[in-house]
Structure 1
Amino acid sequence: MFASLDRFPLKTILIFLIAIISMNITYFQHSKTLLVNHQKEKINIFTSTISTDIVKQSEGEASFDEMLARDLRTAAVTIQKSLNPDFHQVTNEQLVELAKQLNLDGITLFERRDDDLVGVRSSDPKEINASSKTWGIVYDAQIQLTDRKVVDVGTGLTLDHYWSGPIDTASTDVTNIRKWGEYYDGTTNYLINPYVNVKNSLELYRSKVGVDVSIHELLQSNKENLLEIGVLNPEKLFETGPTPNDRGSWYSERLVVNGSYQFRDETEGDKIKEAINTNTTVFYYTTFNGKSILKSVTPIDTTNLKYKRENLPKIVMVATDYSQVQHTLTEQFKGVFFFMCIVTLLVCVVIMILFTVTRKKNEGAVKTVQDVYLDNINSIVQSIKEQKHDIINHITTISWMIKLKKYESLQDYITPLIQEAKTMEYKIKAVEINDPALSGIIQAKLAQSEVHNIDMQVEFSNMENLRLTAIKTTDLVRILSNLIDNAFDATIELPATERKVLVEGTVQANQFVIKVQNSCYPVSPNIYSRIFESGFSTKNAKKNKGLGLHIIKQLIERYKGTIDFSSHEEGVTFSIVIPLKHDK
């Protein structure tokens, strides 16, 4: 059943195996891309969720912050009206009592001393003699207030004679997070600084509806691959030395704003800078304690989270377990590899079967062409035998003319013979077809035409663009051979001087156009509609050895071609059009 090993299509199998391997690699890469993209989409969802919660939390805290700021101003005005405008006439005990009455956690009075402000009276002994010169924007705001200017430090709430800064760590008590108010209208020799502790209220709020709650829920619902989510302060991350004024533990300058930050790596700083510069999410791969990790860093530009307007945006960092993707890919690859092995085996068997079938089909096609050639070669052999007999007669005649010294008669006798030979040679050389099989059949028919005294003319043009498959060439040889034989059969019934056959061929508009025209006795119009019918023939039964026009038409239509028949004074013409687009 199968082809022998020496004729087995090893190249085809090799090409197929290369294609299968390429497909596997492409599939593996495609699967990897899909899985990674899926994981990135999940990371984007996590980031979007946290970003939304950050905005909501910051908006809620901003409202809470502004409410406290306005309450502290009201308290500051009340304090001013309750105290002597000279701090020397005010006692610390008075401030303790006022703080209780106004539900404040503390009150401090600051005196302006050149370029410094110093706590001179306070409900909290730790605030006495405290200098605000190292308090950053708080100090800047106090200076602007005591200079009777509108406060503009890039953050906080500014009102008449008043400014309240962001919630931050107390420098005199780092265990507390406070909200301050700064009031000075020029009627006192001190600046009033009321404040409240907000650590407990902030923690309570965030434990119920804050970003940390969302982070915890996401971590719990995505345990399989979500490792960590953190909201980071890049200002702190990029510090190269000690924090100015030793404020590294301050609430506004903490590194981790929400969540956690355990999975750190050396390249993270560069990735965060890239994310900030491009204002986009940056994904990258890293390792931590031998674990493959896919991380993302996304800038969140929320004004309420900035300590100053020029501060960098906060960063949402997400770390996921990339080894899960690798494990999934490995399992998929095992399954695909097993499947492709089976497919490869089956396809190899199919190729072997198709090869065998195709080989037999091609052998059949070759045999058909050989049969056509044998018929024509037999005709040529017969022609050669007849020409040999004629040549012997010509040579005998020429020999006797020479012996008799009939030179003028000899010249008249030889001239038409030479002309006839040149004409035949010209006809054969004129056949320039870019297909050996078609060229051979035309030359064979030229030789036959000489035997039957048929004036056969051949005109082919633009044949350098002819491209035919082996099967199509076989069928075209059969079609053309039978059409020319039909033309010979019809023409040979005429006197020798009227026997004419014209074969034309050209390639145009990606089509092979062939015309076979022959002289013949007039054709009855009754047969026009029947000429391509199955079983119909104008030949005698003994002569009818060809394919028949019905079969010829079926062969042509197999290749999406057409065949037309026309009758005219010179005889009949068969016109064939075969598309070539499938052969390139």
Structure 2
Amino acid sequence: MQLNAHPRVRFSLRYKIIAILFGAMLVVLALGGTLFYTVARQQMLKSAEKQGQLLAQQIELEVESSEAGQAYIDKLLGNELRIASIAIEKQLPPHWQDVTNEQLRQLSAELGVSGITLLAPTADDIVGVRSSDPHEIGLSTRGMGKWYIAFRDLLAGKPQASTYGTAEKNYWSGPFANATSDPSKVDKWGYYYDGTTNYIIDPFYVQTSIPGYEQVVSVNSTIRHIVATEPDILSIAVLNRTFDEKPIRYSYKGVSWIDIANQPVMYGAYRYAHHDLDVRLKDRALSTGHMQTALDHVDHTTVMKAFIPELGEGSPYVVEIVMNYRLITAQLADLLHDMAILGGALLVLTAVLSFVGAELITRPLKRITEAVDEIADRNFAAHVDVARSDEIGVLAAHVNEMSEKLVEYLRELTRRERGRGVDYLVMATQALVHELGTPLAAMRQMAELLPRLEPNLGEKAREILERMRSASEYANRIARDFTAFLRNGMLTVRRCDVVRLVSDAVGLCSSMAQARHVKLSFHNETGQRHVYLDVDEDKLFGAIVNLLRNAIDAIPDDRARREVAVTVRIEAEELHIDVIDSGVGIPRERWDRIFVPYSSTKKGGLGLGLTFCGLIAIAHGGTVGVVQSSPQGTHIRMRLPLKHEPIQVDA
């Protein structure tokens, strides 16, 4: 048999809700994670930049301290060299020609200076004529720029005229600088000339000979300490403003050098070089006055470079700090790991809560769907018990309202249909009753007369005669009651055991079934021996008999399987009376028309039997209809409410 199937659910609303909530949480976690990762990364970069700024401030303080210390030592050494110059003048003859180099070496040792050189003017130069250092002898100063100008001013008795270095009466001292005779040395010189000699006295100190100078004036020790103690700092370099500019080079006797004051890298070590990028960021930092940062990939290492400008009172410079970006990526990896664990836990929790929430939403919807299915199966009195104040509650109320309106519509439809043919039905029934009255009366009289004429009838014969008499009385009563029902639509209701009533109907039709070689069976699946309802026993009995007779008649003589099964069961506050036959079936388009008057397909049939069944079912507040049908048989179900009062159909 083919099922009268409702649309099949392909994807449950429950799983849709779960999928939507789970997907929404997944999107929220993805967006939130991305945002959090981005913010965390920016915060880490800002923290690294802040660390770079703090280090730059520390280095700036060290540079200032170094410059202050260097200035102090420079002044202190300058004074010492001036005193030494005066002492040297008193111990030397006024002409340099009378001074020996050995004499200068001994005098240097006595005065505690690194060396002494005597400079004498020539026609176009000022040269070293005597010195404790052989490399200084014959040294030309004409190519020394500001130093040469300072020497000329000193010889002219105007040492203060120069703005380079420091000057006092008869004395001028330049800053620490590379020695022209040996550029690898950084020395401090003093120059004295008071006009009593034909030479300039030049005592000097070599930087490496000054105790503690590296600790006092060097920034490099601080930079080395920072790099050694900070694992994420790879290198620090203090870049001169002339970094990448062509520096001033000095040369003497084929040796070329850059003075210490013009070195591109003032302090620290310039490593992880990406020259074009570094120059661009250095220039931008000096021009804007703000720190510039960039990620770079150098020597298979990803680094973060920070260029912090220092635009103080002195010459501007830029502190370059190179940090290991892998430490930041490692922290971000740990953060992503923690976020993944937390996100997974939230997704599991979301799935559980979604399942619970979906169940709370779909459970009442399932009850509503079941009620709608019952209405579709012609149980128009189906009711939904959903106590909610939301949209689902409103939907349930609308379904209940629809059910009530359908019942009212059926009442009205019954009135209209009966109103169209009730007169003809009454006339036909009266004529039928009149025509049947004579043979039924004759049957009753013969059933009563035969035992008197034949007192020796057997028990079986007497049983048959009793059945004939009961059947004739039932036929008279049904015809009479049906005529009355058509006229006024009233039921004679009383308490009745419906299980027994259906069983009696099966018993009445058993002889007809046997005559047609049909197996007629009855099954009580209510779980109770008795089910009492307030019904019109005769009319309901007649309706069930009509269903059984139609089921038996639907089985053709050539059908191998010849069965009619009658089942009584209770489902959802209803009593279901199912009649299932193995007949030829009913076409789907005729399922609703078989209960309309005069629509019989039987030869010589009036089409009133199933109409009568439908009217009786509706009058009792129930329905009757086809559940399923196919060429292998038909399943018809009568539904009777267990609680509702019968509906009185007015004529």
Say if 2:239 and 2:318, in contact at 8 Å, map to a contact too: yes
Query: How far has the Cα of 1:148 moved from its partner?
Result: 3.4
CA separation in 2, counterparts of 1:152 and 1:298?
37
> Where does residue 282 of structure 1 map in the other structure?
292
**Aligned pair partner of 1:294 in 304, 327, 330:** 304
CA separation in 2, counterparts of 1:302 and 1:55?
9
Q: Where does structure 1 differ by over 6 angstroms across 4 or more consecutive aligned residues?
A: 371-378
Q: For the structure 1 residues 195 and 302, does the alpha-carbon distance in structure 2 shift closer, same or farther, using more than 3 Å as the test?
A: farther
Could you tell me which runs of 5 or more consecutive residues in structure 2 were left unpaired when the two chains were aligned. Answer: 1-10, 365-387, 410-651
1:109 and 2:118 are equivalent in the alignment: yes
> Where does residue 238 of structure 1 map in the other structure?
244
Query: How far has the Cα of 1:229 moved from its partner?
Result: 2.1
> Where does residue 279 of structure 2 map in the other structure?
269
> Where does residue 46 of structure 1 map in the other structure?
55
> Where does residue 211 of structure 1 map in the other structure?
219
CA separation in 2, counterparts of 1:175 and 1:105?
15
Say if 2:128 and 2:137, in contact at 8 Å, map to a contact too: yes
> Where does residue 195 of structure 1 map in the other structure?
204
SS class of match (2:198): coil
> Where does residue 413 of structure 2 map in the other structure?
none
**Aligned pair partner of 1:323 in 322, 326, 333:** 326
> Where does residue 394 of structure 2 map in the other structure?
366
> Where does residue 343 of structure 1 map in the other structure?
346
Structure 2 letter corresponding to 1:216: R
Per-residue Cα deviation, 1:145-169 (whole angstroms, up to 9, x for no partner): 2343344655422222322111122
Say if 2:247 and 2:263, in contact at 8 Å, map to a contact too: no
CA separation in 2, counterparts of 1:121 and 1:209?
32
Say if 1:169 and 1:252, in contact at 8 Å, map to a contact too: no
> Where does residue 133 of structure 2 map in the other structure?
124
CA separation in 1, counterparts of 2:168 and 2:156?
15
> Where does residue 167 of structure 1 map in the other structure?
176
Q: For the structure 1 residues 217 and 93, does the alpha-carbon distance in structure 2 shift closer, same or farther, using more than 3 Å as the test?
A: closer
**Aligned pair partner of 2:70 in 61, 70, 82:** 61
Percentage identity across paired residues of the two chains: 24
CA separation in 1, counterparts of 2:23 and 2:298?
43
CA separation in 1, counterparts of 2:123 and 2:359?
106
Query: How far has the Cα of 1:264 moved from its partner?
Result: 1.5
Query: How far has the Cα of 1:89 moved from its partner?
Result: 4.1
> Where does residue 86 of structure 2 map in the other structure?
77
**Superposition pairs for residues 241-256 of structure 1, below 5 Å?**
243-245=249-251, 247-248=256-257, 250-256=259-265
Could you tell me which runs of 5 or more consecutive residues in structure 1 were left unpaired when the two chains were aligned. Answer: 304-308, 382-584
Query: How far has the Cα of 1:211 moved from its partner?
Result: 2.9
Structure 2 letter corresponding to 1:324: L
SS class of match (1:134): helix
Q: For the structure 1 residues 349 and 73, does the alpha-carbon distance in structure 2 shift closer, same or farther, using more than 3 Å as the test?
A: same
> CA RMSD of the aligned region, Å?
3.5
CA separation in 2, counterparts of 1:335 and 1:152?
71
Say if 1:3 and 1:352, in contact at 8 Å, map to a contact too: no
Say if 1:247 and 1:253, in contact at 8 Å, map to a contact too: no
> Where does residue 32 of structure 2 map in the other structure?
23
Q: For the structure 1 residues 173 and 240, does the alpha-carbon distance in structure 2 shift closer, same or farther, using more than 3 Å as the test?
A: closer
Say if 1:132 and 1:138, in contact at 8 Å, map to a contact too: yes
Say if 2:14 and 2:358, in contact at 8 Å, map to a contact too: no
**Superposition pairs for residues 166-565 of structure 1, below 5 Å?**
166-201=175-210, 204-207=212-215, 210-223=218-231, 225-235=232-242, 237-240=243-246, 243-245=249-251, 247-248=256-257, 250-266=259-275, 267-301=277-311, 312-357=315-360, 360=364, 361=388, 362-367=390-395, 370=398
CA separation in 2, counterparts of 1:162 and 1:376?
122
Say if 1:55 and 1:302, in contact at 8 Å, map to a contact too: no
SS class of match (2:270): coil
Query: How far has the Cα of 1:171 moved from its partner?
Result: 1.3
CA separation in 1, counterparts of 2:121 and 2:217?
42
SS class of match (1:217): helix
Per-residue Cα deviation, 1:195-218 (whole angstroms, up to 9, x for no partner): 12221436x443588533322332
SS class of match (2:272): coil
Aligned residues between the structures: 370
Structure 2 letter corresponding to 1:106: G
TM-score by length of 2: 0.51
Query: How far has the Cα of 1:354 moved from its partner?
Result: 3.2
Structure 2 letter corresponding to 1:49: Q
CA separation in 2, counterparts of 1:210 and 1:293?
27
Query: How far has the Cα of 1:321 moved from its partner?
Result: 0.8
Structure 2 letter corresponding to 1:278: T
CA separation in 1, counterparts of 2:404 and 2:143?
114
SS class of match (2:327): helix
CA separation in 1, counterparts of 2:41 and 2:214?
39
Q: For the structure 1 residues 94 and 201, does the alpha-carbon distance in structure 2 shift closer, same or farther, using more than 3 Å as the test?
A: closer
Per-residue Cα deviation, 1:535-563 (whole angstroms, up to 9, x for no partner): xxxxxxxxxxxxxxxxxxxxxxxxxxxxx
SS class of match (2:154): helix
SS class of match (1:214): helix
SS class of match (2:257): coil
Q: For the structure 1 residues 199 and 268, does the alpha-carbon distance in structure 2 shift closer, same or farther, using more than 3 Å as the test?
A: same
Say if 2:247 and 2:258, in contact at 8 Å, map to a contact too: no
> Where does residue 426 of structure 1 map in the other structure?
none
Say if 1:3 and 1:356, in contact at 8 Å, map to a contact too: no
SS class of match (2:143): coil
Q: For the structure 1 residues 355 and 160, does the alpha-carbon distance in structure 2 shift closer, same or farther, using more than 3 Å as the test?
A: farther
Q: For the structure 1 residues 138 and 259, does the alpha-carbon distance in structure 2 shift closer, same or farther, using more than 3 Å as the test?
A: same
Structure 1 letter corresponding to 2:284: E
Query: How far has the Cα of 1:130 moved from its partner?
Result: 0.8
Query: How far has the Cα of 1:248 moved from its partner?
Result: 2.8
SS class of match (1:8): helix
Q: For the structure 1 residues 367 and 313, does the alpha-carbon distance in structure 2 shift closer, same or farther, using more than 3 Å as the test?
A: closer
CA separation in 2, counterparts of 1:140 and 1:252?
18
SS class of match (1:216): helix
Q: For the structure 1 residues 123 and 221, does the alpha-carbon distance in structure 2 shift closer, same or farther, using more than 3 Å as the test?
A: closer
CA separation in 1, counterparts of 2:148 and 2:90?
24
Structure 1 letter corresponding to 2:235: E
CA separation in 2, counterparts of 1:218 and 1:99?
40
Say if 2:69 and 2:217, in contact at 8 Å, map to a contact too: no
Structure 1 letter corresponding to 2:189: W
CA separation in 1, counterparts of 2:274 and 2:78?
40
SS class of match (1:48): helix
Structure 2 letter corresponding to 1:219: V
Query: How far has the Cα of 1:250 moved from its partner?
Result: 4.0
**Aligned pair partner of 2:158 in 128, 149, 165:** 149
CA separation in 2, counterparts of 1:125 and 1:34?
61
